[in-house]
Amino acid sequence: MNINRLVETMTREEKVALVSGYDQWHTVEIPRLGIPSIMVSDGPHGLRKQGAEGDHLGIGISTPSTCFPPAATSANSWDPGLLYAMGQAIGEEALQEGVSVVLGPGVNIKRSPLCGRNFEYFSEDPWLAGELAKGWIEGVQSIGVGACIKHFAANSQERWRMLNDSLVDERALREIYLAAFEHAVREAQPWTLMPAYNKLNGAYCCENQELLESILRTEWGFEGATISDWGAVNDPTLSIRAGLDLEMPASYGVSAQQLEEDLVSGRLTEHALNKAVRRVLELVAKGQAQKREFRYDADAHHGLARKIAAESAVLLKNTDGVLPLSKEQKVCIVGQFAEHPRYQGTGSSQINPSRLDTILGLLEKEKAPYTYAKGYEL
């Protein structure tokens, strides 16, 4: 794909169409020029591929996939190698399903227990978050599938997330909120990066030129494409001028109309639009070039998920050596999570697991003696 020639050949209508999604999960195809569509999909802890239109809220059903431990758990391992293996496995599942970019990892810093997405962020510590993100990204991209590091930046709470303005001074921003992103971008070069919903110091992240151009590209040397969080674009022209490349999901012509009007009025220059178009084309070319037939080993991936969960378990104190329990020792199991476990977050991380182990099921399999009281109704 000769990208420079394509940009010169494309009509204005084709350019403004390309910088917005076709639907929830696909880029725009332009058959006249042989430009294909590629698919992106959630999420950080397993593939959440949806058919047809789908949704980004985790409401609709998705293709069964391996459900890996969320970042809140895997960070307890302090093991980038395990995160590399997880990313590699998720990349294999994406490759099988024809997905070119997996939307993860999430590396925002946990600053409040009220943040609804803490389960999909690694840590309060920027160094740990950056190292684990680097491992995950390198694992996914070793398969030929792109990663999308998110949510950039200072996305610290879910309530009013479309309106929040995170006010952060320069030192805190650099040493805490940007540090994990910087480390992962410099070391792993993810294919894509996702600006967040919120404002940062007065400017929406998708319209924040200091964030997307001065810091991300000029200082850190980011070479990939920027993809908005789903529905995060407030003004498509300001976003492109600031360094956003692809608005997701589809705006169904609304953004295209504004971009065309602003090109005519001079509010948007052809040069700024061409930069975004070129990066989208580079992403499409990279994703298309890596597509191939592949079948992953579901048993091996389930075993890997179990291993990561075990390696991430934290034991504060083994009082009097009570652990490990013997198979002959009778135990009492209390609570319905033993039958119906809560094992992941919701929304974009809502995986449809290909298989699910339960405490009671495993005790039965091991023929271990136990009593069970379900306790309160869930």
The secondary structure of 44-60 as a DSSP string is TTS-B---SS--SSS-S
Residues 6+ apart with CB under 8 A from 289: none
Distance CA 357, CA 116 (A): 25
| Amino acid identity, position 31 | P
Residues 6+ apart with CB under 8 A from 311: 77, 79, 82
Q: Please tell me what DSSP assigns to residue 28.
A: P
Token match 């909120």: residue?
A: 177
Give me the half-sphere count of Cα atoms (radius 13 Å) on the Cβ side of residue 325.
11
Question: 149: which strand partners?
Answer: 193
Task: Output the six-digit token pair for 263.
Answer: 């090109």
How many beta carbons lie within 10 A of that of residue 222, not counting itself? 23
Question: 199: which strand partners?
Answer: 165, 204
Task: Output the six-digit token pair for 175.
Answer: 């040493």
Point out the catalytic residue in the list 23, 42, 79, 229.
Answer: 229
Question: 106: which strand partners?
Answer: 121, 150
Distance CA 249, CA 364 (A): 45
| Amino acid identity, position 228 | S
How many beta carbons lie within 10 A of that of residue 49, not counting itself? 24
Task: Output the six-digit token pair for 48.
Answer: 């959440």
Q: Could you give the residue ranges of the DSSP H alpha helices within 30-124? A: 71-74, 80-96
Distance CA 28, CA 248 (A): 11
**Is 262 a residue of the active site?**
no
Task: Output the six-digit token pair for 253.
Answer: 């012509």
Distance CA 240, CA 6 (A): 19
Token match 């022209």: residue?
A: 237
Q: Catalytic amino acids?
A: 229
